[in-house]
Amino acid sequence: MARMASEARNLREESEPGDGRLRIGEDCLELDASNPEELSVLRAWIRRINAPTYPQPFFVEGPPGHFRLYVGEAAERVRTARGIQ
């Protein structure tokens, strides 16, 4: 896991600054919707990605318009914290 975190830091340091709509966090990807069409697409992804047959990845919205995609241990941790089995 430490290796993955260092790779994420390296990727973040090497990437060029963008418009701030996609960020790489320590345990997730963060996305911000810029218009209503993107918002509806991302909300539809939540229903598909978080289906009960798939334990991960885990995709959440909060606050409205701000989305996070978790994978691996982070997905299990967030899913458990939200009470989803």
Can you give the residue ranges of every domain in the chain? 2-81
Give the model confidence (pLDDT) of 27-40 as tens digits: 999 999 988 898 99
Q: Which helix (H) or strand (E) holds 5?
A: helix 2-14
Amino acid making up residue 11: L
pLDDT band of 46, cuts 50, 70, 90: confident
Amino acid making up residue 5: A
Residues 6 or more apart in contact with residue 69 via CB below 8 angstroms: 28, 29, 31, 49, 57, 58, 59
